[in-house]
Amino acid sequence: MEHLLTKLELGFEEMVSIRRYLHANPELSFQEVHTPAYIANYHRELGLEVREGVGGRGVVATLRGAKPGKTVALRADFDALAIQELNDLPYKSKVDGVMHACGHDGHTATLLVLAKVLTEMKEEIEGNIVFIHQFAEELAPGGAKPMIEDGCLDGVDVIFGTHLWAPTPLGEVWVRQGPIMAAADRFEITINGVGGHGAEPHNSVDAILIASHFVTQLQSIVSRRINPLKSAVISVGHFEASNPFNVIAGKVELKGTVRTFDEDIRTQIEKEIELLLKSVCEGAHATYDYTFFRGYPPVVNHPEETKFLAEVAGQINEVEQVIECDPLMIGEDFAYYLEKVPGTFYITGAKDPSWETAYPHHHPQFNFDERAMLIAAKTLGLATLEYLKESK
């Protein structure tokens, strides 16, 4: 196993080089062309079995060890976000309005160099390793589900994945048995009133006033309708009425998100939003349109595999702490993989110790400590080899 760790250290410069190249050349979800081709070519040069166009734009590479055994899958995503980068970096995005603002460039670089090192150790490997490179994690319905439907998990016994996390200090690895990330749903609402002159409100049905009452009361769903021992978040992020200053709005559009861990709570909130919306609108003589879009389900880690990963992470010199973390309200379509096979998804701390604060994910100045990639590669690689060895 020391052989693996030493090889990864020697490959760190290449990891950084790949990450910076991908960072400078980002591609949006469902629009990835160059990135999957780059990934496929890299694996093909290693001599691995490569499938392109998996589920649409995904890439799957398979390393078959010299000895028989089980099959481990490792996953990295590679899409970017519609954000204009504000970092002043020599490798800043060359594409206007598109940026790797979530670390997927680092995930991809980590997995590619790990694949190279494991391929060099092929004669020692007891079993198979599947490298899943996923498109479109950032935009539901995402790439995981169609890739699974196209067979990326066929024959897989276990799957491991990590997210480089800029707010978490370098050297920390966060794990959690059970739900670690939330279901991520969204809703869209149109409130239809009657527009009119601002001087004659009695001849109008003010959609802005109605929408304001609704948004204010919306938080009572979590505080008064949901069991306080259950977690839930409802946030309205879009409130729009395109009207002149002196005209009472006849229509308001609202968009928001719901985050939950429990399927019953998820369903309850979907119904409670419409019940509240209906009562507010009927009382004000307005009508509404309401659509609830179910996004990714919660990421639910399997206990045995999570415990195993935590023990492996504790063996890495650069890992200072392995922490059982609280659930995170962010969403991730890694959830779909864990619905099909056992495995775990964990957090690799990526905040540079010299930073007072770290810009959050999806921020135009997002960045991470690249040394986190080496920690991620060591943890994933060691977990893979240990699992195959113990499962023979």
Helix (H) or strand (E) segment spanning residue 253 = strand 251-260
Task: Enumerate the known binding-site residues for Mn(2+).
Answer: 102, 104, 138, 163, 362
188 Cβ contact list (under 8 Å, min separation 6): 253, 254, 255, 290, 291, 293
Q: What angle do CA 278, 282, 287 make, to 5 degrees?
A: 75
Task: Enumerate the known binding-site residues.
Answer: 102, 104, 138, 163, 362
Active-site annotation, residues: 79, 137
Helix (H) or strand (E) segment spanning residue 360 = none
251 Cβ contact list (under 8 Å, min separation 6): 190, 191, 192, 193, 195, 207, 241
Model pLDDT, residue 391: 78
| 312-354 pLDDT per residue, tens | 999 999 999 999 999 999 999 999 999 999 999 999 999 999 9
Model pLDDT, residue 93: 98
Task: Enter the tokens of residue 359.
Answer: 């810009």
Q: What is the pTM of this model?
A: 0.94
Tell me the C-alpha distance between 222 and 316, whole Å: 41
Would you give per-residue pLDDT tens digits along the chain (392 residues)? 778 999 999 999 999 999 999 999 999 999 999 999 999 999 999 999 999 999 999 999 999 999 999 999 999 999 999 999 999 999 999 999 999 999 999 999 999 999 999 999 999 999 999 999 999 999 999 999 999 999 999 999 999 999 999 999 999 999 999 999 999 999 999 999 999 999 999 999 999 999 999 999 999 999 999 999 999 999 999 999 988 999 999 999 999 999 999 999 999 999 999 999 999 999 999 999 999 999 999 999 999 999 999 999 999 999 999 999 999 999 999 999 999 999 999 999 999 999 988 999 999 999 999 999 999 999 999 999 999 998 76
Q: In the Cβ-directed half-sphere of 238, how many Cα atoms lie within 13 Å?
A: 12
Q: What is the largest CA-CA distance in the chain?
A: 82
Q: How far apart are the first and last CA of the chain?
A: 16
For each of the domains in the chain, give its residue range(s) and CATH number, in order of start.
2-180+298-390 (3.40.630.10), 183-296 (3.30.70.360)
Tell me the C-alpha distance between 20 and 42, whole Å: 16
Please state the φ and ψ torsions of residue 212, each to the nearest 5 degrees: -65, -45
Please check whether residue 376 is in contact with residue 108, taking contact to mean a CB–CB distance below 8 angstroms: no
